[in-house]
Amino acid sequence: MEQEDIRAGKNPGRDLEIDSEALKCRLATPTQIATEPGIRTDLIRIEKLAKVYRSGDSDLVIFHELDLSIAAGDQVAIIGPSGSGKSTLLHLIAGLDSPTSGTIYYRNKNITNLPEAELSAFRNREIGYVWQQHHLLPEFTAEENVMMPLLIRGVAPAKARSEALVVLEEVELSARGHHRAGELSGGEQQRIAIARALVAGPSLLLADEPTGNLDGRTGEMIFRLLADLRRRRRLTTILVTHNLQFARECNRVLKLEGGALYPELGQE
C-alpha cells in the first residue's frame, strides 16, 4: 500500500471482493491524456480526476485533472515510482475512495457520487480486486473466503459453495478448499484471493502489485495465472506493478509520475 493510502486511513480489505502479447513501443511525450486513437468501446472513462490530501497547512496533490479511457477487453499496466498514486487511482476506479474533483464513468454511468449502498452493489457486481496482501479472513476456510462476495450479494450458501468450487478448480486449489489461510503457502493464499476476486463474475479485474510479496518463481506463476484467467473470462484488467517484464506483456503501459499519466510506449 502506498504512502498516501496510509495517510488517508484506507482499509484495502473492506471490500472482498494478465494473453501475454509482447508490447512494441514508441517513446512518447508526457501527457495528461493517456488514451489511444481509433474506435473504442470504453468500459471506463475518467475526466479531469483530482485527488488532494490535506497535510498540515498545505495540500498534497496526488494527481490533478487526470484523463483516461480504458476500452472493454484492455489489459493495462500502470507503473511509476512508489507514492505516485497508483494504488489511489485503483481505489478511485473501484469506488473505494472518492476523488477531490472529476468524474469516473463506468459503461457511461457516473459512479463518482453514487449512494454508498448502490456503490457497494456496483463493486460486488462489476469489480474484482486482488491486493498485494491477500486479505483472507483467517477464521474461515479457503472455500468460505471465496464464497464471501456471493454471500454478501445474497446468494444462497449452497449455490455460493458450488460457484466457489468451480473457481477453486480454475486456480488449481480445489483440494485445499478446507484449509485456513494460515495453512497455505504465500502463492496458494494469493491464488485463493484471485478466486475470491473472480467468483462473482466481474467485468473488471484490478490487481495492485499482486506479485509484490512473492518470490520470483511464484510471482511469475501468479502473473501467468492472471493472464490465463483474463483470456478465458474476457476480462478488462488493470495491473499496478513495478515489474517491467510483466508490464510489457500488457497491451497498454501507462506511467503515473508527477501527477500525470504517460503513455509508456517505446521499449524495444
Asked whether the predicted pLDDT for residue 51 surpasses 90, the reply is yes
Asked whether the predicted pLDDT for residue 12 surpasses 60, the reply is no
Q: What is the predicted pLDDT for the residue at 22?
A: 32
Asked whether the predicted pLDDT for residue 16 surpasses 90, the reply is no
pLDDT tens-digit readout, 82-96: 989 999 999 999 999
SS3 220: helix
Q: What is the predicted pLDDT for the residue at 29?
A: 32
Contact (CB, 8 A) for 169 and 138: no
SS3 66: strand
Domain-embedded: residue 224:
yes
Domain-embedded: residue 146:
yes
Of these ranges, 20-29, 158-167, 252-261, the one predicted with the greatest mean pLDDT is 158-167
pLDDT tens-digit readout, 31-50: 333 444 444 579 999 999 99
Supply the CATH number for residue 186's domain.
Answer: 3.40.50.300
Domain-embedded: residue 123:
yes
> Average pLDDT over the chain, rounded to whole?
85
Q: What is the predicted pLDDT for the residue at 234?
A: 92
pLDDT tens-digit readout, 168-205: 999 999 999 999 989 999 999 999 999 999 999 999 99
How many angstroms separate the Cα of 26 from the Cα of each of 70, 98, 265? Answer: 19, 34, 5
Show the cell assigned to 76. Answer: 493495462
Domain-embedded: residue 122:
yes
Confidence at 132, pLDDT banded by 50, 70, 90:
confident
Domain-embedded: residue 38:
yes
Domain-embedded: residue 268:
no
Number of domains comprising the chain = 1
- Identify which of 64, 99, 65, 93 has the alpha carbon closest to the alpha carbon of residue 78: 93
Contact (CB, 8 A) for 24 and 18: no
Q: What is the predicted pLDDT for the residue at 233?
A: 92
Weakest mean pLDDT among 6-10, 231-235, 244-248: 6-10
SS3 42: strand
Domain-embedded: residue 18:
yes
Asked whether the predicted pLDDT for residue 153 surpasses 70, the reply is yes
Q: Which comes out higher in pLDDT, residue 133 or 204? A: 204
Confidence at 116, pLDDT banded by 50, 70, 90:
very high
The DSSP code for 174 is: G
- The domain in which residue 254 lies consists of 3-263
Alpha helices in the chain (DSSP H): 3-8, 86-93, 116-126, 142-153, 157-170, 186-198, 216-233, 244-247
Q: What is the predicted pLDDT for the residue at 10?
A: 47
Share of the chain above pLDDT 90, in %: 72
